[in-house]
């Protein structure tokens, strides 16, 4: 009985190939980074599931500087759009 249809001999061969490619000293480091990546992936999946189940809850709130709100940020975007005169040609210098 193996993992996802892989038998014991296939798993052993994969392990030996990885051992030959990376060496015995790097295997713990690779395993650790792989574990961290899997934990981060699971965490982000949980956050997305929570966000989809409870859309009224915000997981990542944007922190604006004191005195600034989300409306101020959108107003700045509109000012930039109005101030943009379009592409300049060489003769406008």
Residues 25-75 pLDDT 10s: 888 898 899 999 999 999 999 999 988 888 776 555 556 566 666 565 555
34, part of any domain: yes
Predicted pLDDT at 51: 87
Q: Where are the beta strands (DSSP E) in 1-93?
A: none
Residue range of the domain that includes 30: 25-56
Lowest mean pLDDT among 4-8, 60-64, 68-72, 77-81: 77-81
Number of domains in the chain: 1
Residue 20: inside a domain, yes or no? no
Position 78 in a domain: no
Assess if residue 43 is contained within a domain. Answer: yes
Residue 71 falls inside a structural domain: no
Domain for residue 30, yes or no? yes
In a domain, 90, yes or no: no
b/e map of 16-36 (b: 16 or more CB within 10 Å)? eeeeeeeeeeeeeeeeeeeee
What lies within 8 Å, CB to CB, of 11 at 6+ separation is: 2, 3
User: Is the residue at 51 inside a domain?
Assistant: yes
pLDDT at 15 over 80: yes
pLDDT band for position 80 (cuts 50, 70, 90): low
Model pLDDT, residue 4 = 73
Residue 93 pLDDT > 50, yes or no?
no
């Amino acid at each position: 009985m193996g993992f996802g249809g892989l038998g014991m001999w296939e798993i052993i061969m994969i392990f030996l190939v990885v051992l030959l490619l990376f060496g015995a000293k790097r295997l713990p480091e690779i395993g650790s980074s792989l574990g961290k990546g899997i934990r981060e992936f699971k965490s982000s999946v949980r956050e997305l599931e929570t966000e989809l189940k409870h859309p009224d809850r915000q997981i990542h709130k944007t922190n604006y500087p004191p005195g600034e709100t989300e409306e101020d940020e959108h107003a700045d975007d509109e000012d930039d759009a109005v101030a943009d005169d379009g592409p300049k040609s060489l003769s406008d210098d």
